Structure 1
């Protein structure tokens, strides 16, 4: 069970880092702004679903051997639900309305949440050592 928990946590960490610092940055750098925005809007719901499912699975797999690690992973899974269901639509609505100050604030909150989540998953991963 510990090996599966390690693999699930590593998959979650790697996926979050790759998406946040690889895929999104690549699109913004190499695609026209409108096309990058369209692709990111299509990809983010899937990314958030991945984080919810992988985070919950990793938490459940980790629970028998490390309650703290499981809690960290569970926090990531649970906090991704409002990010997907509330924050992301609000960001899109602010963008569509041309409300740049609101968009910047909401996007900043989303980025901050994502960074905190990556740190929490990294912490859970380091607890395997």
Structure 2
């Protein structure tokens, strides 16, 4: 039962990150004017990050009993999300507000790399515990 809970909770975090990054954001930019899509994402990202932190920490509880390394990896995903939310996201918003395209592209690229790394870690955790 703990393994099932660990797999499902980890899959929820992983799936949520994938859907938000590749589905929701892309959908907004495809269906809305760029300014409106950006405004909605600016409001949604802080909530998304808190959700990722919370669900990853919840997933770490059953993971601890199933595979402690996977629990630590999932906790690491949660902890690395904090500076993304508190530091990187405001810097991206500031670069956007100041029309500093070069800085925005650099910081946004960093956020994309961080998200991909987090998804890779969660994918690895899923592979470890689901087999």
Calculate the TM-score normalised by the size of structure 1.
0.97
Superposed CA deviations along residues 29-80 of structure 1, whole A, max 9, x for unmatched, are 1110110001100110111011100111111220112011111111100000
Q: CA deviation at 1:7?
A: 1.1
Specify the alignment match of 2:45 in structure 1: 44
Secondary structure of 1:127 counterpart: helix
**Which whole-Å CA distance do the structure 1 matches of 2:110 and 2:61 have between them?**
28
Partner of 2:103: 102
**Superposed, which structure 2 residues align to 1:4-43 within 5 Å?**
4-43=5-44
Q: Mind listing any 5+ residue stretches in structure 1 that lack a counterpart?
A: none
Deviations along 1:68-100, whole A, 9 cap, x unmatched?
111111110000000001100000001001111
Extract unaligned runs of 5+ from structure 2: none
SS in 1 for 2:65: coil
Q: CA RMSD in A?
A: 0.8
Q: Distance in 1 between matches of 2:69 and 2:26?
A: 32
Q: Which residue of 2 aligns with 1:92?
A: 93
Residue of structure 1 equivalent to 2:78: 77
- The runs of at least 4 aligned residues of structure 1 exceeding 2 Å deviation read none
